[in-house]
Amino acid sequence: MLDGGQIVARALEDAGVRRVFGVPGTHNVALYDALAGSKARAVLVTDERAAAFMADGVSRASEETGVVSLVPGAGLTHALSAVAEAYLDQVPMVVLACAVRSDSGRAFQLHDIDQAALLKPVTKAVLRPRAAGELYGAVREAFELARAAPAGPVAVEVPAELYLLSHLWPKMEHAAKPPAPRAPAPAAVEEAARLLGAAKRPVLCAGYGARGAQAALTALAERLGSPVATTIQGKGVFPETHPLWLWSVAGCAAPRFAARELEHADVILALGCRFSEVGTGGYDLPAPRCLIHVDADAGVFGKNFPASLAIEADAGAFLDALLPKVEARPRPEELERRLKEGHAKALASGEAEPGRVSPKALFDALQRAAPRAVYTADSGNGLFLAMERLRLDKPGRFLAPVDFSCMGYSVPAAIGAKFARPEADVIAVAGDGALLMTGLSLMTSVQERAPVVVCALKDGELGQIAQFQRLALGRAAATKLPDYSIEGLARLCRAAYFLAGSDDEVPYAVERALRTARGGRSAVIEVPVDVSQPTYFTKGVLRANFARLPPGDKLRLAIRKFFRRATSWR
């Protein structure tokens, strides 16, 4: 005899799960009782949104699939933002969504809402086992669906009575169906090779979908002598120390030297990317003259840019088929020189304002002290500063909320990444506004001895939004944060605290924080970062969106901004 909690715990073990993030409740106590004696151990978190972000961090940083366990109603709604982030960013996740009892015959049960309706728009599927014999198979199927292209969260909604009641000889079998990489059609590979062979200035664009094909991607770039741009989520898919690396976002949100290469490209080969709003800096990418678009999800083709050749295939399988058909070209020394000069100029930075730390000093110190670290970022300035200044050589080392852009991601995602990669330094880059949302997750890090370093970027406001407002409207509104103590927050969570108040203090603070984390205790570095200079991304997105306004609205905004600045109205 087994109860439903034991059946689900066994299914999790057989799927290779090591940790389940969540907060137990009255409806799923049997599951947590089973997890107490399971290899799939329960991790108690401070709230369910943090639980789902931790599961997200596990999936992005490793080959594991993160799992979150939710009580009905409030537990599910608390986690929905983080589940939606995983959905839009195509991150595999299994959501164990407990449901109220289906056998009571009663109305107005505790936590009773239509959960499937809430989950439908932010998951690939909602599986609803109705008998004990369906539990094991449903959980195992959820993992396969979550990882199949396009990846994303899959929910298993388990009625409370199936967890609680005992079942005689429940079925514990599942015919596994590991997804095979989608092979490209041979004729399509031939045509792609012909187009690339005839191109004078080909450019490669690689997204998160190409994360498993770095060696083949590098080989193709070198054979073609082609620069390689990535998406933000695909940062590190192509090694960013390579002389052909371009930038991590396209369009006018990139520096001019990088945008120019894309503008002049006669063929663009896009691998595992969707040309989303964020990835193109507000869709500000000139329509490619010839676009070869390769993706395992045929639903992305033609959404924002028409493809001359659309190929439904796994990026790695396509590159393996393509490489033998592409002839090597001479090394593009002039292109490499242009890119080297462009990167040097883009990374140059003036002195910080008094009492502030320059982004250059911070990220240079982090990379010197932790050259193989995993970074998590939060929605806002921290994400784009990190994206523009870090140089990463592997995928799975930059985890960020991109297409849903959910604040509060970085700290819990860092903890999830540390669970998945205990040998790695894990560094969260969190704005002070985002830290107010999920900073208490550090308690989980300390309690579970999953030590991370949090770089708390303090500017006293919702920095990126305030920049948008000042640049576009001439003043900021409703963005000033409470003057809270980051040191107090760190102490509350029993994390170590360090202050880096100037460029000269940054290396020492970073070294001490990393030494503390490597010794088993999480650390917070307060960094009063200088964000007086907007990132390339911020300036580019503003230009792109302003350019699309009707002429009358452009004039209205320009006049209003002029008068507000002239009268110093803030």
Sequence-ordered alpha helix ranges (H) in 331-452: 333-347, 359-369, 381-389, 410-420, 432-438, 442-447
How much is the pLDDT for 177?
73
Give the mean model confidence (pLDDT) for residues 295-301. 94
- Please state which of the ranges 20-29, 314-323, 397-406, 552-561 shows the lowest mean pLDDT: 552-561
- Helix intervals (H) in 93-234: 115-119, 132-147, 160-164, 186-198, 214-224
Listed residue (49, 55, 80, 85) closest to 68, CA to CA: 55
- Whose tokens are 């924002």? That residue is 304
Res 568: pLDDT: 66
Q: Which two tokens stand for residue 290?
A: 């010839």
- CATH 1.25.40.10 for the 351-536 domain, yes or no: no
In order of 45, 203, 277, the CA distances from 294 in angstroms are: 39, 14, 19
Contact 199, 266 (CB under 8 A): yes
27-78 confidence digits (pLDDT tens): 999 999 999 999 999 999 999 999 999 999 999 999 999 999 999 999 999 9
Of 499 and 549, more confident: 499
pLDDT digits (tens, 9 = 90+) for 516-548: 999 999 999 999 999 888 899 988 888 888 888
Looking at the whole model, is its pTM more than 0.75? yes
Confidence of residue 168 (pLDDT cuts 50, 70, 90): low
Same fold, 2-167 and 351-536: yes
In terms of pLDDT, which residue wins out, 19 or 251? 19
Q: What is the pLDDT of residues 192-243, one digit of tens each?
A: 999 999 999 999 999 999 999 999 999 999 999 999 999 999 999 999 999 9
Buried b (16+ CB within 10 A) or exposed e, 165-190: eebeebeeebeeeeeebbebeeebbe
Alpha carbons 221 and 176: distance in angstroms, whole number? 36
Strand partners, 404: none
Give percent of the chain above pLDDT 70: 98
pLDDT given for residue 288 in this prediction = 83
- Cβ atoms of 529 and 378 within 8 Å: the answer is no
Q: How would CATH label the architecture of 2-167?
A: 3-Layer(aba) Sandwich (3.40)
**DSSP H/E element including 431:** strand 426-431
Interval 420-472: pLDDT, tens = 999 999 999 999 999 999 999 999 999 999 999 999 999 999 888 888 888 88
Across the chain, mean pLDDT equals: 93
Q: Higher-confidence residue: 110 or 89?
A: 89
Helix or strand (DSSP H, E) at 465? helix 463-473
pLDDT at residue 570 tops 60: no
Provide mean pLDDT across the span 487-506.
97
Q: Report pLDDT for 544.
A: 84
At 302-339, the pLDDT tens digits run 999 999 999 999 999 999 999 999 999 999 999 999 99
Q: What is the pLDDT of residue 514?
A: 98
Instruction: Give the residue, 322 or 108, on which the prediction is more confident.
Output: 322
* pLDDT recorded at residue 196: 98
- Domain 186-343 of CATH type 3.40.50.1220: yes
Q: What does the pLDDT average to over 474-499?
A: 95
pLDDT at 353: 83
Domain ranges of the chain: 2-167, 186-343, 351-536
